[in-house]
């Protein structure tokens, strides 16, 4: 019996990549504007793999593949730890087990090749990203013909799973996106965004919500929350038991919150200046007027923190001091390290976006969703392809994923200004380099006690980048800054209510020069970071007073119940 050539078991595209002459052909699409995420900024000859390194990789690869092949012929099952292949059907079928093991070997080989490329750092980062996208997409778990788990379910259900999978796929094609949850299970204002309150102000950019008090007395200084404008606000008010909004109200704060309008074509002309003047400035002023307080407390989450900090820098530079304290949750002020998002941003990509929508138009919410999903494609794309389409399983009801699919648009000029001046050029952290409303921006002008929160596993805002805000805020009195690091990611780390008694956080105020040094000298505390924040806010919220009997005042009367109309509008 002739022993088959192990290289023959490789998929054709991977077999080609095992040939050194094919590697440059593989890189070429990434070297110009044909890559979906912009050019890599390198010539055809500037990305190379040393011949001796490639030869070593090939030798190791052929040896490992040959062993896999021999093990399969000897009916020795491959050891597979990857969660995509843990179902019994993969191990019960020798060829399926071999395919999974060979795929994982091919994946490691391609990743090693990407790591071995000699190229400029940004180009290498993009090579890694594009290789990872391809590797994730080619998993045998993603195709019916190579997924024994899905095949077995077709047999067990007498074809019903296949019919259901096709039905769900056709439905998603009409939606233009993959369903991650049962979207019929939720309704904004009914079983998400449930905290009672009223809309007390609105303009073309936002509605201002004022929440009903839940305590016999309240702090005299209210709290204004500015969520990100690239998502709906109700991530902060999903369910009563995990609502940061409700928690703040329960702590005796009169809470106001910005509900951003989901822009349509009529708002496609709005700029970053408009968001600062017509939203941030206006919201602060209305809260001051309704509460009768010269100073309020303010919280900005993610992009909301960037907008809020920009506005406050301008106000403090004008001699105003509108806030008694500032809270920033997973927010960038220093954009020198933007993590994996950096693969989407370079001069060519930003210029192309400016040419298309920089003078008017919309940055579509679905484009945001696709980009963020690609950062974790196995979890946010292919996992649902396998479950929804191949196995015909209906996605379960999950409030966070319902929120995640509720896309929002942004005005093109506003988005392009933000993209160039932050992610591309990192201008915000340099005093005076960026001008807004004709005024130089200096974040260091903000002089207020500041609570900075970051999540340790955040892939949107790396925690070390959030920590960099410690050097920018209160430079004359850094002791006013308090940094807290939570466990988990961008969302799960923030939405971690004390009632769940989950995870942990790190805290410490020892003066150090780097994020790593801070972590080494900090204290780990079990549970939610929310009480730590509540204690901070309590210090700056003023004396206890009787709660307002009604929302708003004579000038700003209630318009409609919370959560209002704006949050219910769907992206075009």
**For residue 269, how many C-alpha atoms fall within 13 Å in the half-sphere facing its CB?**
2
394: which DSSP letter? P
How many other C-beta atoms lie within 10 A of the C-beta of residue 66? 15
Token pair of 24 as six digits: 């440059």
* Cβ(386)–Cβ(168) below 8 Å: no
* Cβ(93)–Cβ(148) below 8 Å: yes
301: helix, strand or coil: strand
539: helix, strand or coil: helix
* Cβ(486)–Cβ(453) below 8 Å: yes
Set 302, 350, 357, 484: catalytic member? 302
Inter-axis angle of helices 51-73 and 94-116, nearest 10? 170
CA nearest neighbour of 115 among 192, 202, 57: 57
Q: What are phi and psi of 74, to 5 degrees?
A: -90, 10
Placement of tokens 């506005």 in the chain: 311
DSSP characters over 417-484: HHIIIIIIT--TTSTTTSEETTEE--GGG--S-EEEEEETT-SSS-HHHHHTHHHHSSTT-GGGEEEE
DSSP characters over 17-65: HTSHHHHHHHHHHHHSTTSTT---S--TTTSB--HHHHHHHHHHHHHHH
Tell me whether strands 450-455 and 481-486 are parallel, antiparallel or unpaired.
parallel
206: β partners: 260
How many other C-beta atoms lie within 10 A of the C-beta of residue 281? 18
Q: What are phi and psi of 164, to 5 degrees?
A: -65, -40
Judge whether 416 counts as a catalytic residue: no
* Cβ(369)–Cβ(376) below 8 Å: no
How many other C-beta atoms lie within 10 A of the C-beta of residue 325? 22
Q: What are phi and psi of 141, to 5 degrees?
A: -70, -15
Give dist(CA 542, CA 209) in Å, integer.
Answer: 21
Give dist(CA 25, CA 268) in Å, integer.
Answer: 40
Catalytic center residues: 302
């Amino acid at each position: 019996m002739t022993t088959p050539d192990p290289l023959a078991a490789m998929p054709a595209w991977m077999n080609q990549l095992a040939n050194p002459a094919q590697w440059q052909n593989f890189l070429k699409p990434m070297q110009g504007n044909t890559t979906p995420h912009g050019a890599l900024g390198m010539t055809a000859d500037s990305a190379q793999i040393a011949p001796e390194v490639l030869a070593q990789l090939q030798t190791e690869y052929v040896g490992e593949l040959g062993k896999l092949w021999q093990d399969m012929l000897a009916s020795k099952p491959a050891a597979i730890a990857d969660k995509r292949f843990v179902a019994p059907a993969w191990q019960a079928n020798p060829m399926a087990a071999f395919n999974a093991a060979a795929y994982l070997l091919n994946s490691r080989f391609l990743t090693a090749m990407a790591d071995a490329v000699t190229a400029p750092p940004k180009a290498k980062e993009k090579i890694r990203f594009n290789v990872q996208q391809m590797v994730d997409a080619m998993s045998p778990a993603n195709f019916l013909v190579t997924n024994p788990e899905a095949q077995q379910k077709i047999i067990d259900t007498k074809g019903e799973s296949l019919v259901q999978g096709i039905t769900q796929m056709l439905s998603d094609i009409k939606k233009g996106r993959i369903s991650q949850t049962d979207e019929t299970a939720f309704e904004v204002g009914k079983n998400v965004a449930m905290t009672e309150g009223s809309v007390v102000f609105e303009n073309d950019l936002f509605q201002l919500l004022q929440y009903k008090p839940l305590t016999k007395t309240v702090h005299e200084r209210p709290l204004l929350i500015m969520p990100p404008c690239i998502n709906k606000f109700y991530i902060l008010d999903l369910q009563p038991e995990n609502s940061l909004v409700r928690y703040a109200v329960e702590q005796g704060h009169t809470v106001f919150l910005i509900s951003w309008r989901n822009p349509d074509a009529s708002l496609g002309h709005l700029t970053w200046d408009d968001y600062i003047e017509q939203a941030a400035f206006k919201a602060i002023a209305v809260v001051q007027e309704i509460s009768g307080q010269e100073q309020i407390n303010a919280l900005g989450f993610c992009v909301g923190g960037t907008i809020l900090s920009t506005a406050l820098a301008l106000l403090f530079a004008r001699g105003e001091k509108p806030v008694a304290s500032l809270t920033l949750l997973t927010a960038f002020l220093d954009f020198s390290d933007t993590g994996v998002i950096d693969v989407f941003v370079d001069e060519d990509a930003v210029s192309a976006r400016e040419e298309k929508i920089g003078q008017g138009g919309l940055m579509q919410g679905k484009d945001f969703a696709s980009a963020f999903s690609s950062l974790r494609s196995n979890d946010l794309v292919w996992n649902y392809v396998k479950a929804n389409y191949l196995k015909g399983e209906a996605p379960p009801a999950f409030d966070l994923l319902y929120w995640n699919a509720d896309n929002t648009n942004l005005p093109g000029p506003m988005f392009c200004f933000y993209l160039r001046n932050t992610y591309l050029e990192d201008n915000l952290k340099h005093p005076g380099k960026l001008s807004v409303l004709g005024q130089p921006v200096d974040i260091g002008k903000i002089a207020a006690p500041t609570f900075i929160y970051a999540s340790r596993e955040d892939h949107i805002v790396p925690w070390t980048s959030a920590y960099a805000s410690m050097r920018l805020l209160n430079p004359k009195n850094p002791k006013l800054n308090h940094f807290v690091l939570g466990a988990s990611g961008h969302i799960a780390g923030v939405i971690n209510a004390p009632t769940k008694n989950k995870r942990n956080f790190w805290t410490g105020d020892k003066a150090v020069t780097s994020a790593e040094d801070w972590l080494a000298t900090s204290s780990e505390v079990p549970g939610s970071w929310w009480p730590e924040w509540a204690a901070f806010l309590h210090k700056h919220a003023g004396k206890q007073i009787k709660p307002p009997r009604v929302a708003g005042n004579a000038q700003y009367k209630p318009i409609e119940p919370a959560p209002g109309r704006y949050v219910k509008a769907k992206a075009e």
